[in-house]
Amino acid sequence: MSEITEQIWVGNYGDACNEIFLTERKITHIINCAKELQASVLRPGYQINIVDDVADEKTKKYFLEAASVLDRWIKEDKKIMVHCFAGMSRSVSVVITYFIVYKGWSFDLAHAHMKQRRYQTKIHPGFIPILKEIELSTN
């Protein structure tokens, strides 16, 4: 599990199921970005059904939807864990979307920040054009 900001953590499914990790980090809410995984019962959560390795218009909609939930919970002063199966691509893409849409960051800045904070970052190549399209639509 990696701390991205004081309120955002990114990890894998195992991290999301680890009550000790969640409690130690005072995580109050979880966003599950993996269609194939069950939502956590450990914290209030939000399930977003992003399919691994599928990059289409639904994927863009899912990134934006999850980023909106993330923004709302951040404004409510929650600590949030965003995860997918491995915590490398889908969850990272959601947080990058949040940075682009709600913080005004460029894709390059958001991606560099994620790579610095979570060395496991490895965005699916098909997601990159979607994230860059989101960046263009927010300018």
Cβ contacts of 78 within 8 Å, gap of 6 or more? 7, 28, 29
Establish how many alpha carbons lie within 13 A of residue 26's alpha carbon, considering only the half-sphere containing its beta carbon.
5
- d(CA 71, CA 139) in angstroms, rounded, equals 18
| Domain carrying residue 109 | 2-138
- Split into its structural domains, the chain has a count of 1
Strands 45-47 and 8-11: unpaired
Q: pTM for the whole thing?
A: 0.96
> Residue 84 belongs to a domain with what CATH number?
3.90.190.10
Query: What are the average pLDDT values for consecutive 10-residue runs of the chain, which has 139 residues?
Result: 97 93 95 86 84 89 97 98 95 98 98 97 96 93
pLDDT number for residue 55? 92
